[in-house]
A and B are shown apart, each in its own frame.
Chain A
Amino acid sequence: MDLRKLVERRKLTDRLFAALGICCVLIALLTLVVLMGDLARQGLSRIDWQFMTSFPSRAAARAGILSAWVGSLMIMLVTVITAVPLGVAAGVYLEEYAPKNRLTTFIEINISNLAGVPSIVYGLMALGLFIYQLGMNRSTLAGGLTLACLILPIVIVATRESLRTIPSNIREAAFAIGASKWQVVSHHLLPYSAGGIATGVIIATSRALGETAPLITIGALTFIAFLPPPPVMSEPPFVSFQWLHDEFTVLPIQMFNWVSRPQPEFQVNAAAAGLVLVAMTLSLNGAAIWLRYRMRKRIKW
């Protein structure tokens, strides 16, 4: 009789905790829903063709995010082109080549520490090193390189984890028929891990797309009423890299600029810009989740 009561009580505490757990999950998810709902309520009506194709302006109703989203795309281009090859190469080195010695341990500890460095500190490094020591101007190139440094640890870790899931008998089989180390890596390991690496790169890109602080510290202008010259021209030499050296603004900075103004009309613009930004980062993350899901279904070692 007493025992039965005890069992009942223990079952009850289990159920209570399960309810508490669901509540906590709901609090977190509800925050996301409320946040998205509020952005949509404030900003959705503001998003139209004019908003996407106008430059920032003193008048809230005429302002738009053209230079901001073009800037964001260009920064991402520079960031991905520099961080992905470097990060994948570093990941391959650490996972497949590196001897087990002090230097390797040091590099590994260093990477995990880098992942814990606040993003704004990367901005300070870029300001002191890129802008003043190396004499770059506050350009797309400098901004893109800053964010590349920021996401490098993410790309390295994703590459390593992806390589680690490949069973070692794949490597042994390739070595056994006479493949060199690089052939094993380039013919087998990289293709098999491409999905995992791509997932990591997409997550890293979404992180970089939302980063504001490091770009503010290098002095990215908030009022850019021009577009960079297009990279492709109709007359020789046909390609131009001037866009790398021009000043820029990005979506999160444009949004921050509007949020910090007292007038309510600009808050509407901020909400609209935020909506565009969240749509971009969430769809990138959605793509990563989908990719991971498909990979898990397809590859069975």
Chain B
Amino acid sequence: MSSTADPSTPATQVASLPQRTNVKRRAAKEPLLDRIIELLLFLAGVSSVAITLGIAGTLVFESLAFFREVSLVQFFTDHLWTPLFADPHFGIMPLVSGTLVTTGVALLIALPLGTIIAIYLSEFAPAGLREGIKPLLELLSAVPTVVYGYFALQLVSPLVQKIVPGTPAFNMLSAGIVMGIMIVPYVSSLSEDALRAVPMLLREGAYALGANRLITAVKVVYPAAISGIASAYILGISRAIGETMIVAIAAGTQPNLTLDPREGAATITAFIVQASLGDNPHDSIGYKSIFAAGLVLFLITLSINIFGHWLRKRFREAY
């Protein structure tokens, strides 16, 4: 840069002297300022890594203290989770089953609904309608989860009790249903983006062979977009597993080893909330058990996310 700026030909010597030194001085000064700024920006970029380290470090550190008192065998085989009782049991499975059931119910609602909406918006709806509906659907994910929790307990649960007699007021079914509705926009918007990214040529090929819109969408466009749709599903699943307030309010607070969605049961997240509301001194086993539960939650969502990355790489179609 600086060598080309040097005045070596007579023509450039005509330029006035002060201007030239000014250019030179600026050329010398800016790289330094630029380097400082680049360093600052780099540090900001690395800050996200620091957060991850903070999360993983804290969870592992506090969980190690927990597993010094509770064996891994007990953790995975005991059928009771009562860390705050006088007679404590530390079996994580009841909490895991609660998380699985509520997540399962939510996905049964969110995946079909989200997929159908995505296919409809991408392949069937006129452009004007699509642009109108998309932001409205996004509003669904703008409602705070604590409000959804209120909705699940006050409105959906009485309805569920009427349809399925004998269910308690706190049940995993109503929490799961509301959670499913909440997740719909996450699934539909990402899936729709993936569907729309499929080139028109593929559709035209299918139409030329005599397929109608539905067959084209299901047999050609959907498979071609599967890597993006898989990420949408993965996002929905990890949202459902990590969802806290809806289940803490509406699914019940009692750990319960069951796969029956009509019963009430605490999830991993609901337990963490429940335990945090009480007073747990820093060194108590109750305090440490929160982190052990959190570590399990973190590992489940992490492995699902990593699986999602793998899926995306494996099935990516480049057009």
The minimal Cβ–Cβ distance linking B222 to chain A, given in whole angstroms, is 12
Main secondary structure, interface of A, reads helix
Once bound together, how far apart are the Cα atoms of A11 and B49, in whole Å?
53
Q: Which of A10, A24, A213 contacts B245 (CB 8 A)?
A: A213
Once bound together, how far apart are the Cα atoms of A18 and B129, in whole Å?
13
Residues of chain B contacted by A136 (CB below 8 angstroms)? none
- The answer on a CB contact under 8 Å between A259 and B291 is no
- The answer on a CB contact under 8 Å between A93 and B124 is no
The minimal Cβ–Cβ distance linking B209 to chain A, given in whole angstroms, is 12
- The answer on a CB contact under 8 Å between B142 and A285 is yes
- The answer on a CB contact under 8 Å between A39 and B147 is yes
Check B197 for interface membership: any CB of A closer than 8 A: no
- The answer on a CB contact under 8 Å between B48 and A182 is no
Once bound together, how far apart are the Cα atoms of A217 and B113, in whole Å?
33
- The answer on a CB contact under 8 Å between A107 and B45 is yes
Closest to B184 in A: A28
Tell me which residues from 112 to 149 in chain B have a Cβ below 8 Å from any Cβ of chain A: 113, 116-117, 119-121, 124-125, 133, 135-140, 142-149
- The answer on a CB contact under 8 Å between A97 and B146 is no
Q: Which of B41, B144, B148, B153 contacts A209 (CB 8 A)?
A: B144
- The answer on a CB contact under 8 Å between B269 and A278 is no
Residues of chain B contacted by A32 (CB below 8 angstroms)? 136, 139-140, 143
The minimal Cβ–Cβ distance linking B210 to chain A, given in whole angstroms, is 8
Closest to A22 in B: B120
Q: Which of A93, A128, A152, A277 contacts B51 (CB 8 A)?
A: A152
Check A106 for interface membership: any CB of B closer than 8 A: yes
Check B40 for interface membership: any CB of A closer than 8 A: yes
The minimal Cβ–Cβ distance linking B137 to chain A, given in whole angstroms, is 6
Once bound together, how far apart are the Cα atoms of A98 and B117, in whole Å?
38
Once bound together, how far apart are the Cα atoms of A277 and B143, in whole Å?
9
Most buried by A among B45, B51, B124: B45
Check B284 for interface membership: any CB of A closer than 8 A: no
A-B CB contacts (within 8 Å), total count = 268
Q: Which of A13, A119, A259 contacts B149 (CB 8 A)?
A: A259
Check A143 for interface membership: any CB of B closer than 8 A: no
Residues of chain B contacted by A87 (CB below 8 angstroms)? 44
Check B12 for interface membership: any CB of A closer than 8 A: no
Residues of chain B contacted by A128 (CB below 8 angstroms)? 58-59, 61-62, 291
- The answer on a CB contact under 8 Å between A267 and B154 is yes
Check B69 for interface membership: any CB of A closer than 8 A: no
- The answer on a CB contact under 8 Å between B48 and A152 is yes
Check A210 for interface membership: any CB of B closer than 8 A: yes
Residues of chain A contacted by B306 (CB below 8 angstroms)? 113
Check B33 for interface membership: any CB of A closer than 8 A: yes
Residues of chain B contacted by A42 (CB below 8 angstroms)? 154
Residues of chain B contacted by A260 (CB below 8 angstroms)? 249
Check B155 for interface membership: any CB of A closer than 8 A: yes
The minimal Cβ–Cβ distance linking A12 to chain B, given in whole angstroms, is 9
Once bound together, how far apart are the Cα atoms of A123 and B301, in whole Å?
16
- The answer on a CB contact under 8 Å between A180 and B34 is yes
Binds A, one of B89-97, B255-263, B270-278: B270-278
- The answer on a CB contact under 8 Å between B214 and A13 is yes
Residues of chain B contacted by A18 (CB below 8 angstroms)? 120, 124
Residues of chain A contacted by B58 (CB below 8 angstroms)? 124-125, 127-129, 133
- The answer on a CB contact under 8 Å between B144 and A277 is yes
- The answer on a CB contact under 8 Å between A17 and B120 is yes
A134-163 to B contact mask, C-beta < 8 Å, 1/0: 000000000000000100110010000000
- The answer on a CB contact under 8 Å between B137 and A210 is no
- The answer on a CB contact under 8 Å between B272 and A124 is yes
Q: Given the interface contacts A13-B212, A274-B150, does A117 sit within 8 Å of B55 by beta carbon? A: yes
Residues of chain A contacted by B202 (CB below 8 angstroms)? none
Q: Given the interface contacts A92-B41, A120-B272, does A25 sit within 8 Å of B137 by beta carbon? A: yes
Check B309 for interface membership: any CB of A closer than 8 A: yes
- The answer on a CB contact under 8 Å between B181 and A31 is yes
- The answer on a CB contact under 8 Å between A121 and B181 is no
Tell me which residues from 142 to 181 in chain B have a Cβ below 8 Å from any Cβ of chain A: 142-151, 153-155, 181
- The answer on a CB contact under 8 Å between A110 and B52 is yes
- The answer on a CB contact under 8 Å between B116 and A149 is no
Q: Given the interface contacts A121-B297, A180-B31, A182-B34, does A21 sit within 8 Å of B181 by beta carbon? A: no
Residues of chain A contacted by B276 (CB below 8 angstroms)? 123, 127, 216-217, 219
Known: A28-B137, A116-B301, A267-B150. 7 other contacts (CB 8 A): A28-B181, A98-B45, A113-B305, A124-B272, A124-B291, A210-B143, A282-B139
Q: What are 9 A-B residue pairs whose CB atoms fall within 8 Å in the complex?
A: A35-B148, A90-B47, A113-B305, A118-B241, A128-B58, A212-B145, A259-B150, A281-B144, A284-B142
Q: Spell out A's residues near B (CB within 8 Å).
A: 10-11, 13-14, 17-18, 20-22, 24-25, 27-29, 31-32, 34-35, 38-39, 42, 85-87, 89-90, 92-94, 97-98, 106-107, 109-114, 116-125, 127-129, 132-133, 149, 152-153, 156, 180-183, 206, 209-213, 216-217, 219, 252, 255-256, 259-260, 267, 270-271, 274, 277-278, 281-282, 284-285, 289
